[in-house]
Amino acid sequence: MAIERVKENYNFTDWDEKALMQFAPIMEENREDFVTKFYEKAMTFSNASKYLKNESVIAKHKEAVSGWFLRLFTGPFDDDYLLFLESIGYTHVKVDLPSHYVNATISHVREFCTNIIVAETNECEKRNDLLLALGKILDINLDVLTSSYIVEERNLQSISKRAEGKLINFAKQFSHGLNLVLVLGLVLLGVMVLGLFAYDVLHIFGGDIEKGLLATLGSLLMLWVVIELMDTEVDHLKGGKFSIKVFLSVAMVAVIRKILVVSLNSGYVSTQLSLIAALAVLGVVYWIVSKTESNGHK
78-112 pLDDT tens trace: 888 888 888 877 777 777 777 777 788 888 888 88
Residue 108 φ/ψ region, left for φ over 0, alpha for ψ in the -120 to 50 degree band, beta for the rest: alpha
Residue 69 predicted with pLDDT over 60: yes
The one-character DSSP state at 206 is: T
Say yes or no: 151 and 283 in one domain. Answer: no
Say yes or no: 10 and 130 in one domain. Answer: yes
Say yes or no: 134 and 77 in one domain. Answer: yes
H-helix segments, 43-78? 48-51, 55-74
Kindly state whether residue 35 falls inside one of the protein's structural domains.
Answer: yes
Domain that holds residue 280: 206-297
Per-position b or e across 224-240, b if 16+ CB within 10 A of its CB: ebbebbbebbeeeeeee
Kindly state whether residue 177 falls inside one of the protein's structural domains.
Answer: no
CATH number, domain containing residue 12 = 1.10.490.10
Contacts of 119 (CB under 8 A, 6+ apart): none
Say yes or no: 135 and 18 in one domain. Answer: yes
Say yes or no: 29 and 132 in one domain. Answer: yes
Say yes or no: 118 and 246 in one domain. Answer: no
Predicted local confidence at residue 156, as pLDDT: 47
Identity of the amino acid at 83 = L
Lowest-pLDDT choice from 1-10, 75-84, 163-172: 163-172
Say yes or no: 213 and 150 in one domain. Answer: no
Domain boundary among 134, 162, 190: 162
For the chain, give the mean pLDDT.
Answer: 77
Rounded Cα distance, 5 and 1, in Å = 7
Predicted local confidence at residue 162, as pLDDT: 64
Model pTM score:
0.50
Say yes or no: 148 and 223 in one domain. Answer: no
Instruction: Give the DSSP H or E segment for 137.
Output: helix 124-205
Say yes or no: 117 and 218 in one domain. Answer: no
Burial of 220 from C-beta contacts in 10 A (0-12 / 13-18 / 19+): middle
Per the structure, the count of domains in the chain is 2
Kindly state whether residue 187 falls inside one of the protein's structural domains.
Answer: no
Say yes or no: 142 and 250 in one domain. Answer: no
Say yes or no: 225 and 123 in one domain. Answer: no
Say yes or no: 106 and 223 in one domain. Answer: no
